[in-house]
């Protein structure tokens, strides 16, 4: 992945960094495992630097409503291992309007909050960026989404946990596929990006992997499954990302294959929201802890309008506008690995 590293002097506001005494933290968009670990890290880093930390409930909607309360180091006991987000998450249409954002700003003024840490996806970063431009409140972003579809980081929070959840589920599906000689279509999350399908497809030994970045075509899929059957495979797993390019949903795909490959008994499993839940992996907990600390230190140092990411094991900054617009590309080497491994 090409990563843009932009360090220092990214602030678009004139707040004296050392004057930051109150920081707000919120989670927005879809929840992801590791969000709680990130909240904990923000709260405890604030305490370390003697900054007062405020939890804003239900994302931007809670900010508009003034659902804001003080969080101290003991408020975040025993959450590092919990999925979801103690601050709750929400999508807010009101925040998309100038009036809504003005109400949110007034709430921050009321609580004397001088900087924001936004944990969420690219939509949340877009909102945060607009908010900073309009009202001068410094914003730092932490990428929290299981899809790993954000430019500027090799890993988003929750992605590693989701991979492990999916692989565990597909291992179980494989047991039943083998016992009944079935062909399973397993749909995983990833409307715009195939990271989950590609990695879990390789990790769980799937015969085929359908991702939004590649149009395999129905005919090629059919031929490939025929070859696979001929080569002696009695059961198979096809991993399908939600947004795969063939243009049929997973049930239509299964129907088509069953009609054209009557030797197989075809089943569909849509993993759905279970991919978002569960205790975060150790990787996500460590990543969240590092990102939370870095976000607070950035605001303290006068850096804002940036997202924290990880690249080659190091914490890096990417300006929010680049993180939003940039494309998170799949690893082509993995596509090659998957093609060879299905033989
Ligand atoms: P996920 O990856 O899980 O979808 P996300 O952060 O991209 O997470 P969105 O629903 O796109 O989720 O955005 C979250 C919230 O951010 C929205 O509900 C809205 O309040 C705010 N937001 C998104 N886009 C804008 C925008 N253009 N202007 C103002 N606010 C926005």
Nearest to 142 by CA among 10, 13, 293: 293
Specify the CATH architecture of the domain 2-157+280-325: 3-Layer(aba) Sandwich (3.40)
Q: Which residues of the chain are in CATH 3.40.50.450 domains?
A: 2-157+280-325
Residues of the chain with CATH 3.40.50.460: 160-276
Q: How far is the CA of 251 from the centre of ligand 1 (A)?
A: 29
At the topology level, CATH places domain 160-276 in Rossmann fold (3.40.50)
Cα–Cα distance measured from residue 328 to residue 159, given in angstroms and rounded to the nearest whole number? 13
| Strands in 57-181 per DSSP E | 68-71, 115-120, 139-143
| Cβ neighbours for 118, distance < 8 A, ≥ 6 positions apart | 26, 28, 124, 125, 127, 128, 139, 140, 141, 142
- Residue 133 backbone dihedrals phi, psi, to 5 degrees: -60, -40
Task: Tell me the whole-structure pTM to 2 decimals.
Answer: 0.93
Atom of ligand 1 nearest to the CA of 131: 29
pLDDT recorded at residue 118? 98
pLDDT level of residue 234 (50, 70, 90 thresholds): confident
For ligand 1, atom 3: residue with the closest CA: 30
Residues with CB under 6 A from ligand 1: 28-30, 60, 91-92, 95-96, 120-124, 126-127, 130, 145
Closest CA to 179 of 253, 234, 230, 118: 234
Q: What is the pLDDT of residues 109-128, one digit of tens each?
A: 999 999 999 999 999 999 99
Cα(237)–Cα(341) distance, rounded to whole angstroms?
13
Return the pLDDT at 215: 81
Q: Which of 31, 67, 122, 147 is catalytic?
A: 147
Q: Which of 63, 123, 129, 143 to mutate to test the pocket of ligand 1 (most atoms within 8 A of CB)?
A: 123
Can you tell me which atom of ligand 1 is nearest the CA of 150?
A: 2
Q: Is 67 a catalytic residue?
A: no
Spacing, Cα 169 to ligand 1 middle (Å): 29
The string of DSSP codes covering 277-309 is: -SPPPHHHHHHHHHHHHHHHHHHHTT--SEEEE
pLDDT higher than 50, residue 9: no
């Amino acid at each position: 992945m090409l990563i843009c590293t932009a360090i220092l002097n990214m602030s678009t506001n004139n707040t004296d960094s050392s004057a930051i005494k109150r920081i707000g933290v919120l989670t927005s968009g879809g929840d992801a495992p590791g969000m709680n670990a990130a909240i904990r890290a923000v709260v405890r880093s604030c305490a370390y630097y003697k900054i007062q930390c405020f939890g804003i409930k239900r994302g931007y909607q809670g900010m508009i409503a003034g659902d804001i309360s003080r969080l101290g180091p003991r408020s975040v006991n025993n959450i590092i291992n919990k999925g979801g987000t103690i601050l709750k998450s929400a999508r807010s249409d009101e925040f998309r309007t100038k009036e809504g954002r003005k109400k949110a700003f007034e709430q921050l003024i009321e609580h004397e909050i001088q900087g924001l840490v936004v944990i969420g996806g690219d939509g949340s970063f877009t909102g945060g960026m607009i908010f900073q431009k309009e009202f001068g409140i410094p914003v730092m972003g932490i990428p929290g989404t299981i899809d790993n579809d954000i430019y500027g980081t090799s890993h988003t929070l929750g992605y590693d946990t989701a991979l492990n959840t999916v692989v565990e589920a597909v291992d179980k599906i494989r047991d039943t596929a083998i016992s009944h000689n079935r062909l399973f279509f397993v749909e995983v999350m990833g409307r715009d990006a195939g990271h989950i399908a590609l990695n879990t497809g390789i990790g769980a030994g799937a015969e085929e992997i359908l991702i939004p970045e590649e149009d395999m075509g129905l005919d090629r899929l059919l031929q490939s499954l025929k070859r696979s059957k001929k080569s002696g495979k009695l059961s198979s797993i096809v991993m399908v990302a939600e947004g795969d390019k063939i243009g049929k949903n997973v049930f239509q795909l299964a129907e088509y294959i069953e009609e054209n490959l009557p030797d197989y008994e075809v089943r569909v499993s849509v993993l759905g929201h279970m991919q978002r839940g569960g205790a975060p992996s150790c990787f996500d907990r460590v990543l969240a802890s590092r990102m939370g600390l870095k976000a607070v230190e950035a605001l303290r140092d006068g850096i804002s309008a940036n997202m924290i990411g990880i690249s080659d094991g190091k914490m890096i900054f990417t300006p929010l506008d680049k993180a939003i617009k940039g494309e998170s590309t799949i690893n082509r080497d993995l596509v090659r690995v998957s093609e060879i491994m299905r033989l």
